[in-house]
C-alpha cells in the first residue's frame, strides 16, 4: 500500500533497514521505525492541531506502544498520550509518559482503577454510569476530582465489530447528570469512534454519523446546564482532517497512523507527514508457484499489494506481488509472487510498507535514528513495547544459555 510512496519520499529508510537486516543487526519479521521522520511528522501535526485550537494526544498502538518513539513524539510537541487499552497505559506510564486519555476504546478494568487514578490523566472515558461510579469511589477516597468523557451512541453511528458500547443519545443527558452528581468525578464532554473514515470511491476522508452525534449530544449536555465543553473526535487524525473536525466542534484529536505517514490518504497524496515505518523480513523458502517470507507481523487489514526483495543492500530490488491470506489464517509466512523465481534466493531481504497495527502483531520493532546520515539502532522491542537484548529476549531476563 505504501511501497511506492516510501521509495519516493523516504528511500533512505528502506536502504538503512536492508543494510541493518543483512548485517544481522535487526531480525526478520521486524517493523523498522525512522525516529527522526516521526519526530518531524509529530511537530507538524502539533502545529496544525494547535493552529485550529485542537489538543492532540498521540496514539502509540500503531507503532507498538514503543516508548522511544512515544518520547520523541512528546518532545516534538504532542506531550500526552491516549491509551486505547490499559496495558498500553501501564507500559507508557512506567516510562514517564503523561496520560491524556485512558479508557477508550477499552474500558479500565476494575482492579486497575486505582492505578489509573495515579496516572492523573486529563480524561478517563466511561461507557455508562456504572464505570463512572467505580472511578468515583476511588477518587472520592483520595479527595481528588477526575474529569470524565462519556462515550455516546447514535442510531446511525458506525462501530467496528468488538468495539461497541456507550450511552444512547436519548439517555445521554440523564446519565451525564447522574455522573455529575457523583463525588470525585466531573463529566466534561463526549467521545466516539470512528468519526471520520476513508471513502474509497472518492479517495478522501468523510465524516461518519458519529461526528454529528457528538455535536448533538454535546449541545444537549451544555443546554442542560452541564459544563461539558470537550468533544474528543478520534480516527483518521492527521493535519488534512483537523479543519473538518474543528468545524464540527471537536476540541481534541488523537493522531496515530499519521505519525508514521500511513493513513489511507498518505498512500494516494503527498501529505506533509512522510512515511516513517516499514516491515522487513526474509525469504524462507520457494515452491514452484510462490516465494514465502517469514511473517508474524502481516496485519490482515493491511491491503498490502507489493513488496520488494533485495539480494544485497543497494541493489535494484525485485518486485513481488503480495498474496494476502484470509484473516483467519495465522501468518507464519507471507506469500509472494515474482516473474522469475530463479532471481530470488533463500535469505534475501523482503521489504513491505503498509498501514499497520503493530500492537496486535507477533513481531519485533526496531527503532533507528540518523537515517540518511549516520543510522543508529536505538533498540529492538517487542510489538507491545518491551525492550529486548541482543539475544532478542526481554532485558533483565535470564537466558537458558546464561543459566547453564
Spatial separation of the C-alpha atoms in residues 282 and 28, rounded to whole Å = 6
pLDDT at 188: 98
pLDDT at 404: 44
- Return averaged pLDDT per consecutive 10 residues of the chain, 404 residues in all: 95 97 98 98 98 98 98 98 97 98 97 98 98 98 98 97 96 98 98 97 97 98 98 97 98 98 96 98 97 94 92 93 92 97 97 95 98 97 97 77 47
Spatial separation of the C-alpha atoms in residues 340 and 328, rounded to whole Å = 30
**Torsion of the alpha carbons at 234, 239, 243 and 248, rounded to the nearest 10:** 0
CB contact at 8 A, 91 and 68: no
Q: In Å, how far from its chain's centre is CA 380?
A: 18
Spatial separation of the C-alpha atoms in residues 98 and 265, rounded to whole Å = 29
> Please, what are the domains in the chain?
3-33+272-387 (2.40.37.30), 79-254 (3.20.20.10)
**Torsion of the alpha carbons at 68, 70, 72 and 73, rounded to the nearest 10:** 170
CB contact at 8 A, 242 and 49: yes
CB contact at 8 A, 336 and 320: yes
Nearest to 70 by CA among 373, 365, 372: 365
CB contact at 8 A, 169 and 152: yes
CB contact at 8 A, 289 and 112: no
pTM of the model: 0.96
Nearest to 308 by CA among 336, 327, 333: 336
pLDDT at 302: 85
Spatial separation of the C-alpha atoms in residues 49 and 235, rounded to whole Å = 14
Spatial separation of the C-alpha atoms in residues 265 and 238, rounded to whole Å = 9
Amino acid at each position: 500500500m505504501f511501497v511506492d510512496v516510501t521509495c519516493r519520499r523516504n528511500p533512505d529508510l528502506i536502504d538503512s533497514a536492508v543494510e541493518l537486516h543483512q548485517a544481522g543487526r535487526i531480525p526478520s519479521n521486524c517493523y523498522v521505525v525512522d525516529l527522526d521522520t516521526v519526530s518531524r511528522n509529530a511537530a507538524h501535526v502539533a502545529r496544525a492541531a494547535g493552529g485550529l485550537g485542537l489538543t492532540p494526544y498521540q496514539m502509540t498502538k500503531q507503532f507498538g506502544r514503543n516508548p522511544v518513539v512515544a518520547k520523541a513524539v512528546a518532545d516534538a510537541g504532542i506531550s500526552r498520550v491516549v491509551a486505547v487499552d490499559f496495558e498500553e497505559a501501564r507500559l507508557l506510564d512506567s516510562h514517564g509518559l503523561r496520560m491524556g486519555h485512558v479508557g477508550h476504546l477499552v474500558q479500565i478494568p476494575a482492579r486497575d482503577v486505582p492505578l489509573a487514578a495515579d496516572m492523573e490523566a486529563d480524561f478517563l472515558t466511561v461507557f455508562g454510569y456504572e464505570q463512572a461510579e467505580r472511578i468515583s469511589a476511588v477518587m472520592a477516597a483520595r479527595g481528588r476530582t477526575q474529569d470524565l468523557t462519556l462515550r455516546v451512541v447514535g442510531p446511525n453511528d458506525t462501530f467496528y465489530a468488538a468495539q461497541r458500547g456507550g450511552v444512547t443519545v436519548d439517555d445521554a443527558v440523564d446519565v451525564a447528570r447522574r455522573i455529575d452528581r457523583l463525588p470525585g468525578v466531573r463529566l466534561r464532554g463526549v467521545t466516539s469512534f470512528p468519526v471520520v473514515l476513508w471513502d474509497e470511491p472518492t479517495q478522501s476522508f468523510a465524516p461518519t454519523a458519529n461526528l454529528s452525534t457528538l455535536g448533538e449530544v454535546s449541545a444537549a449536555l451544555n443546554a442542560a446546564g452541564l459544563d461539558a465543553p470537550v468533544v474528543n473526535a478520534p480516527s483518521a487524525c492527521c493535519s488534512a482532517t483537523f479543519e473538518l473536525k474543528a468545524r464540527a466542534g471537536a476540541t481534541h484529536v488523537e493522531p496515530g497512523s499519521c505519525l508514521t505517514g500511513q493513513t489511507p490518504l498518505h498512500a494516494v497524496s503527498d501529505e506533509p507527514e512522510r512515511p516513517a515505518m516499514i516491515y522487513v523480513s526474509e525469504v524462507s523458502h520457494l515452491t514452484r508457484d510462490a516465494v514465502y517470507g517469514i511473517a508474524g507481523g502481516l496485519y490482515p487489514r493491511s491491503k498490502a499489494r507489493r513488496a520488494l526483495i533485495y539480494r544485497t543492500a543497494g541493489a535494484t530490488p525485485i518486485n513481488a506481488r503480495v498474496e494476502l491470506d484470509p484473516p483467519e489464517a495465522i501468518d507464519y509466512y507471507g506469500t509472494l509472487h515474482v516473474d522469475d523465481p530463479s532471481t530470488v534466493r533463500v535469505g534475501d531481504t523482503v521489504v513491505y510498507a503498509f498501514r499497520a497495527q503493530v500492537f496486535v502483531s507477533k513481531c519485533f520493532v526496531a527503532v533507528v535514528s540518523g537515517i540518511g546520515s549516520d543510522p543508529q539502532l536505538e533498540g529492538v522491542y517487542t510489538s507491545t513495547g518491551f525492550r529486548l537484548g541482543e539475544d532478542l529476549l526481554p532485558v533483565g531476563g535470564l537466558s537458558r544459555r546464561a543459566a547453564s
